[in-house]
Amino acid sequence: MNHSRSSALILGLCIAIGLSLAGYFLAGGLMQIKAAQRFVTVKGLAEREVKADLAIWPITFTATAGQLPELQQSIASSDRTIVNFLKEQGFADDEIGRSVPQITDYQAQGYGGDRPPSARYSGRVTVTVHTRKVMELKKAMAQSGKLVAAGVALSQDYGAMPQFSFTGLNSIKPEMIAEATQNARKAAGQFAKDSGSSVGSIRRATQGLFSINNRDANTPEIKKVRVVTTIDYFLQD
């Protein structure tokens, strides 16, 4: 009987010690899990102003005539005037393209009753400059009044406005991502300082999309590149 009581007592004592140790390690584990769950979410911004490195300038003009051969001659004359102007501005043949002429016969379409016979036909052509010489193109655009003075009937086409693009995004991506990450860590550091903690490792990072927009409405050749990263940093006591 005494032997049985001793065995039971020892067994109970072992169970109690085991439960105590399990509770200790479980509590320690929960504390570690809770500490590991402490993090702060911050955003980091990086911006750059860059110059456009590609420009496209569609130059649309119209011509009218009473006969198709006359219309063809008028179109060819305006085309030569525009091309000569562009070459004087420093553009090469491989930077200049032309669209197919769009010819309208007002008499055949039934709404040319008020038009004189000399204006039966109308032609519309677009000469397009596609170049890396962005500043030269800006200067040429500023002098486009010379084309009007030379007799070219320029047409305003809101669907074909000058375009300025920046194609070198890949060359600045790494630096901008690094800058955005650094700015995010600074924000996390300030938060940690205010809360009496320190910044640990990165828990999760999400890179936002790069955006390229005009710096303002008056200088479309200057672009603003922007990226925002969202990062979770662990906080340590």
Which of 136, 165, 194 is a domain's end point?
A: 165
Q: Which of 148, 165, 182 is the last residue of a domain?
A: 165
Is 211 inside any structural domain? Answer: yes
Confidence check: pLDDT of 26 > 60:
no
Closest C-alpha to 144, from 81, 235, 76, 193: 81
Q: Which residues span the domain enclosing 106? A: 54-165
Residue range 40-54: mean pLDDT, rounded? 96
- pTM, two decimals, is 0.76
Identify the weakest region by mean pLDDT among 6-20, 62-76, 99-113.
6-20
Task: Please check whether residue 86 is in contact with residue 58, taking contact to mean a CB–CB distance below 8 angstroms.
Answer: no
Mean model confidence pLDDT for the chain: 86
- Is 82 a domain residue? yes
Contacts for 123 with CB less than 8 Å, ≥ 6 apart:
62, 63, 64, 65, 71, 72, 74, 75, 101, 102, 103, 104
- Pair (179, 76) in one structural domain: no
Name residue, tokens 């990072």: 205
Average pLDDT over residues 67-88: 97
> Are both 147 and 172 inside the same structural domain?
no
Residue 207: pLDDT band (50, 70, 90) is confident
pLDDT value, residue 106: 86
Same domain, 97 and 176: no
Residues 113 and 213 in one domain: no
CATH of the domain at 125: 3.30.70.2970
Beta-carbon contacts of 213 under 8 Å, excluding residues fewer than 6 positions away, are 223, 224, 226
Determine the Cα–Cα distance for residues 223 and 75; give it in Å rounded to an integer.
36
Q: Where are the alpha helices (DSSP H) in 66-195?
A: 68-88, 134-142, 145-149, 169-194
